[in-house]
Amino acid sequence: MMSRIAYVNGRYVPHFEASVHVEDRGFQFADGVYEVVAVYKGQLIDEQGHLDRLERSLDELRIAMPLARAALAQILRRMVRLNLVREGLVYFQVTRGVAPRDFPFPFAAAPTLVITARNKKFPGRDVKAVTVITTPDQRWARRDIKTVALLPATLAKQKAKEAGAFEAWQVDADGYVTEGASSNAWIVTKDNVIVTRQADHNILRGITRMAIIEFAKENGFKFEERAFSVEEAQNAREAFVSSASTFVMPVWKIDNVAISNGEIGPVGKTLRDAYFDAMDQLANDARTRSTD
């Protein structure tokens, strides 16, 4: 068994003893942001999109980038190599740093940067559909910022787990689905229109979501960005969720209402295949480059 390595503020340390200070503002106030990037065939997927979003989240909270973007990208690669990740996830988190506990921003704290990487087998191209439950969206008003304040997501995920469901779809006060606890939510209407909620302050702008919108356009699908109700979803032709670790994951049951027989639908299948094709292409290009 190889020993895992974590990155903490410039040092590569054994995972079991990697730690941050008790007065880190990430620990005290959830004053930090994070990203999760999939690794597939040893390649970071949608890396630029995730780095763009990290910069945006930090900007919104007025936390400095802990190091230059190119340096961070290099460290992410090194973490993939050191942890022998072929298929899995890289997690990175930036907080406002360590300072005596007081709400306003500290005068001179350096941001904390923590990175972990691990192997995780993803479901392949051929996947069975999953089930979702719905739950009231209890989050704050800036869900577009990817903060580590994940208590509402934790409660929603626990509720899903106890119900035997894969994901919880969060529902706003008007009965419209915002997004999953850790994924974006999609439906395909009976007229074959792909629908996902518009990316404003009410949802996280998923990086996978952006890729899927491109694949939908390339495949000539009709696409609309708008809110949909739980009832509309329960009457949809198809439904799916998207995230860096699930890509396109078909949904067949929403709060015990079945919308299919548990197989992936044709639109979901086309989009999931497009995602895997793009990832395979990226891995092939990387192999070609390294043997040039």
Binding characters for ligand PMP, 24-43, by CB under 6 A (x = yes): ------------x-------
Closest CA to 15 of 118, 150, 86: 118
- From 121, 146, 159, 161, active-site residue: 146
Query: Restricting to residues 187-226, which ones interact with ligand PMP according to CB under 6 A?
Result: 204, 206-209
In which residue are the tokens 């229109």 written? 193
Among 57-65, 175-183, 219-227, 276-284, the segment contacting ligand PMP (CB under 6 A): 175-183
121 assigned to active site: no
The C-alpha torsion from 57 through 61 and 66 to 72, rounded to 10°, is 0
Q: Is 95 in the site for ligand PMP (CB under 6 A)?
A: no
Pick the binder of ligand PMP from 96, 243, 249, 271 (CB under 6 A).
243
In whole angstroms, what is the distance from residue 175 CA to residue 165 CA?
Answer: 20
Helices (H) and strands (E) in the chain, counts: 7, 15
In whole angstroms, what is the distance from residue 156 CA to residue 148 CA?
Answer: 15
Pick the binder of ligand PMP from 183, 196, 202, 270 (CB under 6 A).
183
Smallest separation, CB 228 to ligand PMP (Å): 16
DSSP-assigned beta bridge partners for residue 119: 88
Structure tokens at 128: 């069975």
Smallest separation, CB 169 to ligand PMP (Å): 11
Chain residues in the site for ligand PMP (CB under 6 A): 36, 179, 182-184, 204, 206-209, 242-244
